Amino acid sequence: MDKSAASGYRLRIAHLYPDHMNIYGDRGNVIALRQRCTWRGIICEVVPVGPGDGVDWETIDIAFFGGGQDSGQALIAEDFLERQGPALRAAIDDGLAMLAICGGYQLLGHYFLTHTGQRLPGIGALDVYTVGGNVRLIGNVVVEVAAATLQTSVAPDPHAGPIQLVGFENHSGRTYPGAGVRPLGHVLAGHGNNGEDGTEGAVYRNTIGCYLHGSLLPKNPQLADHLIATALHRRYGNGALLAPLDDSMELAAQRAMVARLLVQR
C-alpha cells in the first residue's frame, strides 16, 4: 500500500439517521468506509444526521442511509422528505456517491406502501417504488454485478469479469425499478428486489440502493472502494488515485461464501 498516493485527501461522510436506521449491523458500512480511508492516509470525517439536523450537501462526499424497522422508518420519513429531500436529491443528481440499504433504499424512491396500507413518500431520487408483502424475503444473497458498475478507476479494465457480492436480506417490501435506473446486479441466490424479476438494487449516477445487509461493505471491499474512488474523483478530479490495499482475506471469505450459497441453491 502506498499511502502517499492519497496524501492530503479529505472526505466527509454523512450518516443519515444512525439512531433510527441501523439494523443488521448497517453501521458497519460507515466504519468500513472510514477505516479503508484511514489505511490509505485519507482524512475522513463522519457526520451523523438526525431528525432536525441541517446539512450542507455541497460539503458531503459520501452519504450512507441504512435500514430500520418499519416503525423507525416511519418516524424519520417526514423529516427526511421535508428537511433533506430537495437538497439531497440535487446532490444525487450532481453525482454524490451514496449507498442506501433496505429502508433507506425505499425512501430514496417514489414511495413505500407498507403491508398495513401506510404510504411513506420518498424523495424520488431513484426511479423505484416499493409495496409491502405479507411474507418477508429473508436469507443470504449472492448478486452478480458487472465490473464496470463498481469501477475504481476512470479507465477501468474492459475485460474484467463480473463481481459476485454477498449479503443478507430481510425485507417485506417488494421494490420495482423503473426505466430511470439500472439494476445493481442479478440475483444468483436469494430474492433480491422483489423475488420476481431476478434483479437486486438500483443504480442512478453514483447512488446505489439495495437490500444487502451484512454489514455489506466489510464483506465486499470492491463496493467500498468504488464509493471512495467515486468520491475522490468528484472532489479532486479524475487524477485522484486510490492506493491499493491487501484484501486477500476479505476476498477469500467472499469467495467461500459465494461458493457455499451457490451449492445450496
Residue of 145, 149, 151 lying closest to 242 (CA atoms): 151
Residues 42, 157: Cα–Cα separation, whole Å: 25
Predicted confidence (pLDDT) per residue in 55-70, tens digit: 999 999 999 999 987 6
Q: Which of 15, 37, 44, 102 is catalytic?
A: 102
Is residue 8 within 8 A of residue 232, CB to CB? The reply is no
Residues 227, 225: Cα–Cα separation, whole Å: 5
Instruction: Give the pLDDT score at 80.
Output: 95
Instruction: Give the pLDDT score at 114.
Output: 87
Q: Which domain holds residue 72?
A: 3-264
Is residue 76 within 8 A of residue 93, CB to CB? The reply is no
Kindly state the average pLDDT of the residues 206-221: 96
- Cα 191 from chain centroid (whole Å): 17
Instruction: Give the pLDDT score at 4.
Output: 39
What's the domain count of the chain? Answer: 1
Above pLDDT 90, what percent of the chain?
Answer: 81
Q: Which residue is it, cell 492519497?
A: 6
Instruction: Give the pLDDT score at 1.
Output: 38
Is residue 225 within 8 A of residue 242, CB to CB? The reply is yes
* 37 labelled catalytic: no
Q: Which of 15, 171, 213, 233 is catalytic?
A: 213
Instruction: Give the pLDDT score at 61.
Output: 99
* 210 labelled catalytic: no
Instruction: Give the pLDDT score at 72.
Output: 74
Instruction: Give the pLDDT score at 214.
Output: 84
Residue 5 has pLDDT above 50, yes or no: no
> How confident is residue 118, by pLDDT bands cut at 50, 70 and 90?
confident
Task: Give strand pairing partners of 152.
Answer: none
Average pLDDT in the chain = 93
pTM of the shown model: 0.94
pLDDT greater at residue 109 or residue 21: 109
**Domain at 164, CATH number:** 3.40.50.880
